[in-house]
Amino acid sequence: MCSCAFLLLLLYLSMARPKSPDPLNIDLPAASGYVCNIDGSGDAIIWIGKGKVMLELDKQLRADALIGISKKYKIQFSQAKLARFNDVDLIGVPVDQLKQYIAGYHIENKAFFNQAGIKLVLGENELSNWMAAATNAGSLLNRRI
């Protein structure tokens, strides 16, 4: 019985081939982005990587999207903060940290990877709220044109 098992083992090992090398060396990105068209008014890019989710909105949608978020979460933003939000390229903090983020944002010092990321927990999906606010902003923009 032992010699039969040994012969089968030798047979399987003799038939096995070494793994062939990959034709290309593929380096997967640390982050990936998904582009979403918002009612033809602009694009939103959802960045996912390193356990974080961030959102990039077109400039014409940003202020109106922030107004929609402020209504949803009952947060007041001054006109100066709304104007300053137009310079914010990437939204990568939870809504409760948004005021501090806008106040401390500097265009030349974009520390994207130090951001906490948008909150995505069961029952509190801030990304879907941002997308809804951006979609409403796109609808408002289309009505104005």
Degrees, nearest 5: CA angle 49-128-52: 15
pTM > 0.85: no
Domain housing 114 = 29-144
Return the amino acid letter for 139.
Answer: S
pLDDT at residue 73 in the model: 93
**Does a structural domain hold residue 8?**
no
- pLDDT of 108 > 60? The answer is no
The predicted structure's pLDDT at residue 28 = 57
pLDDT at 113 over 60: no
**What is the rounded CA–CA span in Å between residue 75 and residue 64?**
14
In a domain, 15, yes or no: no
* Statement: residue 22 has pLDDT above 90: no
Report how many domains make up the chain: 1
Instruction: Please check whether residue 107 lies inside any domain of the structure.
Output: yes
pLDDT-derived band at 130 (thresholds 50, 70, 90) equals very high
Q: Which helix (H) or strand (E) holds 83?
A: helix 79-85
Q: Rounded distance, CA 58 to CA 38, Å?
A: 10
* Residue-level pLDDT at 26: 57
Query: Residue 21 falls within a domain, yes or no?
Result: no
CA 47 remoteness from chain centre? 3
Q: What's the pLDDT score for residue 126?
A: 92
Place of tokens 């990321």: 117
- Name 46's bridge partners: 34, 55
